Structure 1
Amino acid sequence: MRAVSSIFFTILYFFFTTGVSGSDQTWAEVQKRKKGELTIYYRSTEPFLITEADGTLRGLEYEMMVGFKYFLWNKYGIRINLNWQSKESFKYVFGLIKNNPNEGEFGLDIISRTLKREEEVGFSTPYFPDIQVLVSDKTIPTIKSIQEFKESFEQYTAVSVAETTYDLYLRNLRAKYKVDFNIIYKQTSNEIVPGILEQPGRFGYMDLPNYLIALNQNLAIKRQPILPIKGIGFSVIFKKGSDWAEPINEYLASPEYQILRNKGIQKYLGNDVYDLIESISQGENEEMVLLLKEKELVDKELMERSKQIQEQEYITNMLIACVIIVFLIAYALYNRSKIKSKANKILTAHRLMIENQNELLSKRNNELLELDEEKNNFISILSHDLRAPINNITALAGLLAMDDNLTESQVGSINHVAAESRRLNKMVTRILDVERIESKSTEDFRVIDLTEVIERVVSNYKQQALDKKITLHLDAEGVHNVMGLEQYLFHVFENLLSNAIKFSPLGEAIWIRVIEKDGCHLINFTDGGPGMSEEDQQLMFKKFQRLSAKPTAGERSTGLGLSIVAKYTELLDGKLTWESAPNEGTTFTVALKAV
């Protein structure tokens, strides 16, 4: 109790004794005085800085700077007062730092770091990825090549904010490709989407988080799959040459900030957007990742439309039932012929109304199905076309590695290129597998020997297990036949064994057993990994879902493996069960009918 009281009064002392000593102080001066003030010029830009109706602030950038304040207190014992000053536009925020700034003044407005701007102000290390996409209203056709862009975009109007990178990229497009489109300007980046939606034929650049938020809100915009921009990143700006670069960069590189950043992204953007941005920032193909995310949102809208149709049918049936009941009562009270005539007219009107509503819902549903099919085809074509250059890279790497005159460093670089191309090939194959499962395209089943398939899978993963000093035990004596497709069975066992190796600590053992019971073959995969929490067990079969357990040797995980296992097991008319608890390992069991 005494310790709690001490902490409480320490916090009170911190807040009530933080003096306002002006913002024209260097970091060196603040270190000597053990206190100081930072003036932060900002502009409200959701979800980075949000001003509430009562004037309070929240958002990713706000929490970042509050975290900086506590970082200085915890590490250096320095009390800092944050003086927040709102400005009406990016131009004013940047101009205040560029023209005669004080030492203790920062600027925040999701400011993209560019080489030209580095000549004018000082920049911190980036605190958030800078990815911008070209967005238009849905009346503009999807452009698939630069030639189509040059031929058609002259008739459209761009929306931008003056003196920002949005404006810079649009002007570069206009000059580079000689497309003389008009540009209209808004005051802030929050007005770009409303500006695009004001009238048909408008487009513009916008940040990836704001595009995904607009997409989740079902706004009538779409992404043009050409000319994306990946910048250096968003940074804090300050006086050029200021020694405040030292503590802010130290803070942005600290574990404390990484935890704060990850929680902030999940809080303001959601887990899905956090995973997507992380995938792109770590080097995965951004076009493919965005297509998958957009397809997921289309699937979600299809489900919602289907639900609306069902609800409409239910309401319609209830309405018809109520009308019938009303007119039955009226039939008993009034003249039979008059009531019958009126009832027929009302029922006819309701029937026509219902038919019109059903026709509109059916038309919308067909449009969504066509859009879903178009995205499926585009993903399949893109994945298929990627394989040829990937295989060429792998083959060329193999030829280069055969040269006896290479140095050890050169051989290592060639092997790294080959490994990365194989990893990319596997990712493309996984995406095609997911699309094939969702389209439910199966081939004729035949009798398959489980033992043969499992032995081949174990053989393929022996080296991966040896690298982690993991022992593989296979108990599958005899012949165990099932009806199915070898490719499906191979993918099921491959994903289960790969996960077991990936999440098992060094030196553990993995058991694979085939048991015959009640006319079924039970195939068990048991590992000594960290196990799964109840929350993870509810999420593990969702696509692109990353669980709390992490691979023990830093392996990569796409979040597709268990969803593929579940789908293929269902197609094989099998049953997938599991037993797991935190720190006690996991056992997955696939049950298939014996032949």
Structure 2
Amino acid sequence: MYCLISASVSASDLTWTTLQKEKEGTVTIYYRSTEPFLIEEADGSLRGLEYEMMVGFKYFLWNKYGIRLHLNWQSQESFKYVFGHIKNNPKNGEFGLDIISRTVNRDLEVGFSNPYFPDIQVLVSDKNIPTVNSIEEFKEVFSEHTAVSVAETTYDQYLKNIRNKYQIDFNIIYKQSSNDILNGILEQPERFGYMDLPNYLLALNQNKAIKRQPILPIKGLGFCVIFKKGSDWQNPINEYLSSPEYEVLRNKGIQKYLGNDVYDLIESISKGEDEEMVLLLKEKELVDKELSERSKQIQRQAYVTNMLLACIVIALIFAFALFNRNRIKSKANEILTAHRGMIENQNELLSRRNNELLELDEEKNNFISILSHDLRAPINNITALAGLLQMDDNLHKSQISSIEHIASESRRLNKMVTRILDVERIESKTTDDFRKINLSDVLERVVINYRKQAEDKKIKINLTTDQSAYVFGLEQYLFHVFENLLSNAIKFSPLGQSITINVESKEKYHFINFTDGGPGLSEEDQKRMFKKFQRLSAKPTAGERSTGLGLSIVAKYTELLGGKLEWKSKPDHGTTFIVKLEAV
């Protein structure tokens, strides 16, 4: 926001009561440019925390009361003129802004709003002055040093109180505004003074050659708007400063002009947190940042130095070439030829390595193809032959058992090969087009496929679904996720237990829960259960076998579906796996 300053407008004697009746009026704001609270640009426009605060007050009155308020901004030379005008020649429609600290004595002279910003001042000195930690050290080090201040401000008052209370002999020089205190300290060695904490932190962030002395900090009552003593403007201003509208505007302004980290630090101190600890942590952070920047600067300087050296070397070579052109030219040609040969050899090596990688990738694809066709075909033949043998009515009981074992093992081997291939497909990241899928359809099909396996262990599967639950993805991916989770639940649940599968819909997500009554997962198992070929400490309850691939497939397919896999488990209390998918 920006506003052009009026050249000369007569002061207003407008009361809040009168403005409420007339619905339109003008107030005058006497201010002084104080970064980052109120900044006057070269073209006369204004910006800053205090400026945006008062513009926000104008809109607050319009939105809540339908009152059109005009702001007449009047620049003053120093704090003395801003405060003195409200103190000595006050009118109802006049305000003062200059990060004005509220004190007991000033309360007798002018009216104050509620604080709009914490008032914390720290003692700052030239960086070469030693750090002191006690009043005795302060007396010894700062005697005969020079303090920098602004006349008739709390900075000046605090310095004089220190000088009188502890009888320390130091001189005080005065600047026009608080913005000039930092420059005054840096003008000459052995200078010090009080600064507002925000300005100190901003200066530190800019690597200014100053340091904070960890003694005699001041916590004031806060920065306030001032106006005529007894003015009825106190009510609407305080109402605005406590409103949600001002809180939003303040937070945006702080982020723009100070940064959230500075404001959070000031708020922490103002709310009673250990001031020294908070400041030390912040100073350490800024020092680390400065060291990092210096390291980068050293690297840049080293680069520039190397470039200069390289240029000098090139210049010397060029001079020598002029001096002995023919011999150097011949030598240079030899070097260039050698370099060209070296580059050609490197290109040839890179080309050969690239071809080797392509061959390896092709071999991997061929190996997967062999697994897919050459392994599955004999396995399927074994399964089919076992089925034919089972049809013979003349088999003995032991023969039937052996044939069933062959069929079971061939099916297990087929599943193992399928899962290994699934892992390879996932890692190759080949996906088809996603579409809208009904969760209930997939879950019901998975449960039907595994009902016989559950009945063999006298395990009951309780499925609760939502027919209106849809997700976006590939049905094959979803089927593999749910199949592996249900297979594991049956595998690790004791005989006669129950497995619960239910779909919960919350906000924009569906949560598919698989809960078993198994032995649960140890902390060590939970750290490695999603890695391939991991055998966990929990064992299948009926002697089933595990490839160690199921959960890795579940995790990878869930990731491809844009979902999240969560779990809850305690040893001896079962396990719940939760698949979180976005609803459509």
Give 2:77's aligned residue. Answer: 88
Match of 1:197 in 2: 186
Query: Are 1:230 and 2:230 matched, yes or no?
Result: no
Q: Which residue of 1 aligns with 2:124?
A: 135
Give 1:314's match in structure 2, choosing from 297, 303, 321: 303
Q: Distance in 1 between matches of 2:260 and 2:305?
A: 38
1:146 maps to what in 2? 135
Q: For each residue in 1:131-160, what CA deviation from the matched residue of structure 2 results, as whole angstroms up to 9, or x when unmatched?
A: 100000012100111221122211211110
Q: Once the 2 structures are TM-superposed, how far is the Cα of residue 211 of structure 1 from its aligned partner?
A: 0.6
Using the alignment, how far apart are the partners of 2:564 and 2:158 within structure 1?
51
- Distance in 2 between the 1:264 and 1:521 partners? 57
- Give the secondary-structure state (helix, strand or coil) at the position aligned to 2:214: coil
Paired position in structure 2 for 1:164 = 153
Question: Quick check: 2:39–2:46 contact (8 Å CA) kept in 1?
Answer: yes
Say if 1:157 and 1:231 are closer, same or farther in 2 by CA, change over 3 A. same
Give distance in 2, aligned partners of 1:585 and 1:282.
Answer: 40
* Aligned residue number for residue 296 of structure 1: 285
Query: Is 1:215 matched up with 2:193?
Result: no
Residue 531 (structure 2) aligns with? 517
Distance 1:161 1:218 in 2: 24
Call closer, same or farther: CA 1:586–1:61 in 2, change over 3 Å: farther
For 1:230 and 1:169, locate their aligned partners in 2 and report how far apart those are by CA, in whole Å.
11
Distance 2:564 2:106 in 1: 53
Aligned: 1:276 with 2:265 = yes
CA shift for structure 1 position 216: 1.4
1:108 aligned onto 2:122: no
Quickly say closer, same or farther: Cα 1:190–1:476, change in 2 above 3 A. Answer: farther
Distance 1:585 1:180 in 2: 69
Distance 1:328 1:257, change over 3 A: same
Residues 171-219 of structure 1 show CA distances to partners (whole Å, capped at 9, x for unaligned) of: 1111221112111111111110111111111000010111111111111
Deviations 1:13-56 (A, max 9, x none): xxxxxxx9961121111111111111111111111111111111
The Cα shift of 1:312 comes to: 2.5
1:520/1:325 Cα in 2 relative to 1: closer, same or farther (>3 Å)? Answer: farther
Shift of 1:479: 5.2
Structure 2 distance, partners of 1:585, 1:60, is 43
1:78 aligns with 2:92: no
- 1:126 equivalent to 2:115? Answer yes
The equivalent position to 1:267 in structure 2, one of 256, 269, 286, is 256
Could you say what secondary structure the match of 2:142 adopts?
A: helix
- 1:24 counterpart (2, 10, 13): 13
2: CA distance between counterparts of 1:586 and 1:53?
A: 58
Structure 1 segment 545-584 matched on structure 2, within 5 A: none
Q: Would you say 1:52 and 2:66 are equivalent positions?
A: no
Instruction: Report the counterpart of residue 328 of structure 1 in structure 2.
Output: 317
- Among 21, 26, 46, the residue aligned to 1:37: 26
Contact 2:11 2:91 (8 Å CA) reproduced: no
1:287-324 CA-to-partner distances (Å, cap 9, x unmatched) read 11111111111111211222122222323333333333
Cα–Cα, structure 1 residues 480 and 130, in superposed 2: closer, same or farther, change >3 Å? closer
User: Which amino acid is 1:232 matched to?
Assistant: L
Q: In 2, Cα distance between the equivalents of 1:229 and 1:66? A: 30
Write the distance in 2 (CA, Å) between the matches of 1:476 and 1:44. Answer: 71
2:136 and 2:115 mapped to 1: Cα distance?
A: 34
User: 1:213-257, CA deviations, whole angstroms, 9 ceiling, x for partnerless residues?
Assistant: 111111111110111111100000011111110100000000000
Distance of 1:278 and 1:89 partners within structure 2 = 28
- Asked if the contact 1:71/1:251 (under 8 Å) is kept, the reply is yes
Q: Amino acid of the residue matched to residue 177 of structure 1?
A: Y
Shifted more, 272-281 versus 198-207: the winner is 272-281
Could you tell me which amino acid in structure 2 is paired with residue 105 of structure 1? E
Matched residues in 2 for 1:168 and 1:142: separation? 23
Q: Check whether the contact 2:149–2:174 (CA below 8 A) recurs between aligned residues.
A: yes
Amino acid at match of 2:529: I
8 Å Cα contact 1:21/1:37 also seen in 2: no
Runs of 5+ unmatched residues, structure 1: 1-19, 340-472, 483-511, 523-576, 590-595
Q: CA deviation at 1:164?
A: 0.3
1:177 lines up with 2:191 in the alignment: no
For 1:68, the equivalent position in structure 2 comes to: 57
> Residue type matched to 1:517 in 2?
K
Query: Which whole-Å CA distance do the structure 1 matches of 2:140 and 2:86 have between them?
Result: 41
SS in 1 for 2:132: coil
Letter in 2 for 1:136: S
TM-score under structure 2 normalisation?
Answer: 0.56
Q: Tell me which amino acid in the other structure corresponds to 2:70.
A: N
Cα gap change, 1:481 to 1:250, in 2 (>3 Å) = closer
Superposition map of 1:303-382 within 5 A:
303-334=292-323
2:178 and 2:319 mapped to 1: Cα distance? 61
Over 3 Å counting, the alpha-carbon distance change for 1:320 and 1:480 in structure 2 is same
Q: State the 1:332 CA deviation.
A: 3.0
1:535-586 Cα deviation digits (max 9, x unpaired): xxxxxxxxxxxxxxxxxxxxxxxxxxxxxxxxxxxxxxxxxx9x99xxx999
| Paired residues, number | 350
Q: Does 1:241 align with 2:255?
A: no
Q: Is the 8 A contact 1:49 1:59 kept in 2?
A: yes
Q: What are the residue-to-residue correspondences of 1:451-462 with 2, within 5 Å?
A: none
Which amino acid letter does the alignment assign opposite residue 26 of structure 1? T
Contact 1:476 1:513 (C-alpha < 8 Å) held by counterparts: no
Deviation at 1:513, TM superposition (A): 7.9
Give secondary structure in 2 for the equivalent of 1:168: helix
Secondary structure of the corresponding residue to residue 95 of structure 1: helix
- Higher Cα radius of gyration: 2
Helix, strand or coil: the match of 1:284?
Answer: coil
Measure the CA separation in 2 of the matches of 1:100 and 1:318. Answer: 66
Structure 1 residue 588: Cα displacement? 11
One-letter code of the match for 1:190? N
Secondary structure of the corresponding residue to residue 224 of structure 1: strand
Find the counterpart in structure 1 of residue 276 from structure 2.
Answer: 287
Give, in whole Å, the separation in 2 of the partners of 1:117 and 1:257.
25
